[in-house]
């Protein structure tokens, strides 16, 4: 049986809207020479934005030596920061964001 997150990625990659209701803002700060994050911003951020007009997306490029991160703001008021130097593939970043949004949704339902 496939996980819900994998199904969501399939849906996004086939250009069907996927609601990310638990996310409020996604800020990506990265170096242009980081191909993984550059591909994520170029290819996957537009897919996430499609059908999620409520999410504010911001991207910023920095020098290669500076910190690279993705800051997620959730509707619950909590924030999560991803160290982008740990990821080798753009879909890993997307999967982590979906996992965080999914966990937040489950926590909201269980409260």
Return the closest-CA partner of residue 68 out of 32, 24, 30.
30
CATH number (domain holding residue 87): 3.40.30.10
Q: Are 76 and 101 in contact (CB under 8 A)?
A: no
pTM of the model: 0.80
* Residue 110 belongs to a domain: no
Residues of the chain with pLDDT under 70: 1-18, 104-111
* Residue 69 belongs to a domain: yes
* Residue 93 belongs to a domain: yes
Which structural domain range is residue 72 located in? Answer: 4-101
* Residue 109 belongs to a domain: no
pLDDT of 1: 45
Radius of gyration of the chain (CA): 14
Q: Helical H runs in 14-89?
A: 35-39, 45-49
Q: For the chain, how many structural domains are there in total?
A: 1
* Residue 106 belongs to a domain: no
* Residue 73 belongs to a domain: yes
Q: What is the pLDDT of residues 24-34, one digit of tens each?
A: 999 999 999 99
* Residue 47 belongs to a domain: yes
* Residue 11 belongs to a domain: yes
């Amino acid at each position: 049986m496939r996980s819900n997150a994998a199904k969501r990625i399939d849906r996004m990659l086939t250009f069907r809207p996927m609601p990310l209701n638990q996310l409020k803002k996604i800020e990506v700060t990265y170096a242009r020479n980081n191909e993984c994050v550059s591909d994520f911003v170029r290819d996957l951020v537009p897919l996430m934005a499609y059908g999620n007009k409520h999410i504010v997306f911001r991207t910023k490029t920095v020098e290669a030596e500076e910190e690279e991160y993705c800051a997620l703001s959730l509707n619950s008021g909590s924030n999560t920061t991803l160290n982008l130097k740990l990821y080798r593939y753009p879909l890993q970043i997307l999967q982590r964001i979906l996992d965080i949004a999914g966990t937040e949704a489950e926590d909201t339902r269980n409260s």
